């Protein structure tokens, strides 16, 4: 079990899966650079969180719900959690003043996390892992099983259902374990220049082209100084 102080943000899992160095720069070194993509993403999420909770189509829509898992050491916020009644008792209580998901009893309700993303569905697992981590938190907090959630992509304007099967759960837990290792190590991994770096807002502070030549800076500096001495014309009498 993790202490509350040791919980890591669910959002860090996405950074970790994209690039361990990016994850360490943000969460260890506390460096952050905004670009168009990050601003758009933030704006989209703010809109998703800020709207009022509501009842719609017999479901309760809860926004900006705080989540945590002491078992896996995660905390974060869900854009939207939908709660639907599974039996008549629950259905009757829907309209009443239900002030929190914690009051939902296991078995009587279906709980579905929905995450809003800009752009279109990605090839890799990172969005699915983030959603699954939210589900793990909800399962722990509510004491129930959550079989599926949904991703809502801004570009497609439609939901993609995500099933929390054994494989996705294992991928999510492995990423969570790695995240805790990385943060505990207090070391930022060395950079490697890769094509994906072009889409990373941290490129100007990561400096992969410089760090890639890590071992040679001492010799490189000597060569620079030698060249400065030589190139500048006659220095002897």
Which parts of this chain interact with another protein (CB under 8 A)?
A: 28-31, 33, 186, 188, 190-191, 203-205, 207, 209-211, 214-218, 220-222, 224-225, 227-229, 231-233, 235-237
Start-end of H helices in the chain: 11-18, 20-27, 36-50, 88-93, 126-142, 166-185, 203-206, 208-211, 217-231
Taking the complex as a whole, the smallest distance from the CB of residue 33 to another protein amounts, in Å, to 7
Question: Minimum CB separation from another protein for residue 22, in Å?
Answer: 14
Q: How many CB atoms lie within 10 A of CB 117?
A: 23
Give the nearer residue to another protein in terms of CB position, either 51 or 219.
219
Task: Please say whether the dihedral angle defined by the alpha carbons of residues 160, 163, 168 and 173, taken in this order, is positive or negative.
Answer: positive
Q: Minimal distance in Å, beta carbon 105 to another protein?
A: 43
Whole-number minimum distance, CB 78 to another protein, in Å? 26
Residues paired with 77 in a beta bridge: 66
Q: How far is the CB of 218 from another protein (least distance, A)?
A: 4
Q: Which is nearer to another protein, 37 or 210 (CB)?
A: 210
Place of tokens 């990561």: 206
Return d(Cα 136, Cα 69) in angstroms, integer: 7
Q: Rank residues 150 and 211 by Cβ distance to another protein and give the closer one.
A: 211
Q: DSSP state, 125?
A: S
Nearer to another protein, 110 or 188 (CB): 188
How far is Cα 193 from Cα 87, in angstroms, rounded to an integer? 55
Rounded to a whole number of angstroms, the minimum distance from the CB of residue 232 to another protein is 5
Distances (CA, A) of 47 to 41, 149, 225: 10, 20, 54
Angle at 15 between CA 14 and CA 18, to 5 degrees: 85
Helices and strands, number each (H, E), in the chain: 9, 7
Q: Which is nearer to another protein, 105 or 185 (CB)?
A: 185
Residue 174 vs 210, nearer CB to another protein:
210
Under 8 Å between Cβ of 113 and 81: yes
Q: Which is nearer to another protein, 123 or 236 (CB)?
A: 236
């Amino acid at each position: 079990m993790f202490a509350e102080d040791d919980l890591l943000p669910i959002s860090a899992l996405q950074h970790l899966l994209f690039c361990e160095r990016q994850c360490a720069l943000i969460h260890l070194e506390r460096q952050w650079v905004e670009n168009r993509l990050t601003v758009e993403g933030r704006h989209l999420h703010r809109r998703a969180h800020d709207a009022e909770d509501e009842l719609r189509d017999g479901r309760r829509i809860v926004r900006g719900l705080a989540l945590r898992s002491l078992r896996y050491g995660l905390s974060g916020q869900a854009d939207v959690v939908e709660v639907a009644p599974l039996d008549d008792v629950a259905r009757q209580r829907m309209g009443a003043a239900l002030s929190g998901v914690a009051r939902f009893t296991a078995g009587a309700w279906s709980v579905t996390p929905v995450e809003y993303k800009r752009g279109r569905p990605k090839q890799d697992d990172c969005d699915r892992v983030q959603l699954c981590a939210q589900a793990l938190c909800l399962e722990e907090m509510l004491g129930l099983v959550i079989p599926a959630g949904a991703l809502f992509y801004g570009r497609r304007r439609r939901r993609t259902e995500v099933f929390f099967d054994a494989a996705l759960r294992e991928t999510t837990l492995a990423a969570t374990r790695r995240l805790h290792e990385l943060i505990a190590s207090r070391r930022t991994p060395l950079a490697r220049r890769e094509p994906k770096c072009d889409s990373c807002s941290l490129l100007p502070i990561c400096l992969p082209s410089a760090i890639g030549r890590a071992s040679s800076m001492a010799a490189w500096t000597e060569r620079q100084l030698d060249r400065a001495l030589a190139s500048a014309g006659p220095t002897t009498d």
